[in-house]
Structure 1
Amino acid sequence: MDLTVLSYVIYLFISIVLTVWVARTLSRAGRVFLAQVFPGSEHLAEAVNHLLVVGFYLVNLGFVSLYLKSGATTETARQVFEGLSVKEGVVLLVLGGMHLGNVFVLNKLRSNSRRDFAVIPPIPPTGFLPEVEA
């Protein structure tokens, strides 16, 4: 097997494992946020959570696939590891960015739902304005 093909296999394996691990972590932690966003509607919270996870998979695995090809030649083990470190570093940065983006969106949803349920009653009138004749 060519070293370039070996580096592709290693890259795909590590990237897919990392993507699945981050997606599962986001899914578990995201349920708590979404339960607060949709109180009393666990089915809706679970559906939104599932859609977020599917979107996360699609974006990250699409990026991993597009980033697979390398223009550099890999003739030695050192070049394999150097190429893999750059590729995996970029994948980790993208996963981290996606993770922070998901946390931001979930927190924004939670903040909006708290604001919607915290309705302040109107202030009662203290007097009446005199009628103005036209």
Structure 2
Amino acid sequence: MNHIIVLYIMYILITVTLTVWVAHTLFKNGKVFLIDIFHGNATLADAVNNLLWVGFYLINIGYAVYTLRVVNEVDSARLVIEILSVKIGLIILILGCMHFLNMFIFFRLRKRALIDKRENDLYDYSKMNA
């Protein structure tokens, strides 16, 4: 088997494994945030969480497949490792950016949900005292 095939196989295996692990972690732990954001509506939180999960896979696996091509000749194990490290490093950076983007969005949505809840509580309190 030549070096380019080894590179492609290793790249796909590592990329898919990383993507699945990060997606699973975000899916499992993000549900708590979404339930809070949607004021305890677990059905809506599950639906949004599933949509985020699918989108995450589509973007990351799509990008990994898109960047699979190697234009240089790969004729040594050293080149396999060097090219693989650049490609995997880029995927890890993208996964990290997507993770922080998700966290930023969750915290913004949670902050807004808390403000809405506080306003609703004040409205309910003023209605009771009227």
Computing the radius of gyration from Cα coordinates, the structure with the larger value is 1
Taking only aligned residues, the RMSD between alpha carbons, in angstroms, comes to: 1.2
Rounded to whole Å, the distance in 1 between the matches of 2:40 and 2:5 is 51
For these two proteins, the number of residue pairs brought into alignment is: 122
Greater helix content:
2
TM-score (norm 2): 0.90
1:72 positional shift: 1.7
Correspondence for 1:129: none
* CA deviations over 1:61-110 (Å, ceiling 9, x no partner): 11101110011211011110011001000010011011111111111111
Structure 2 counterpart of 1:92, one-letter code: I
Alignment of 1:1-134 (within 5 A): 1-119=1-119, 120-121=122-123
1:19 positional shift: 0.2
1:30 positional shift: 0.3
Q: Give ranges in structure 2 of 5+ residues lacking alignment.
A: none
**Further displaced range: 40-49 or 16-25:** 40-49
Rounded to whole Å, the distance in 1 between the matches of 2:112 and 2:56 is 22
3-state SS, counterpart of residue 68 of structure 2: coil
Sequence identity (%):
43
1:39 positional shift: 2.0
* CA deviations over 1:28-57 (Å, ceiling 9, x no partner): 110110110112311110110111111000
The runs of 4+ residues in structure 1 deviating greater than 3 Å are none
TM-score (norm 1): 0.87
Structure 2 counterpart of 1:66, one-letter code: Y
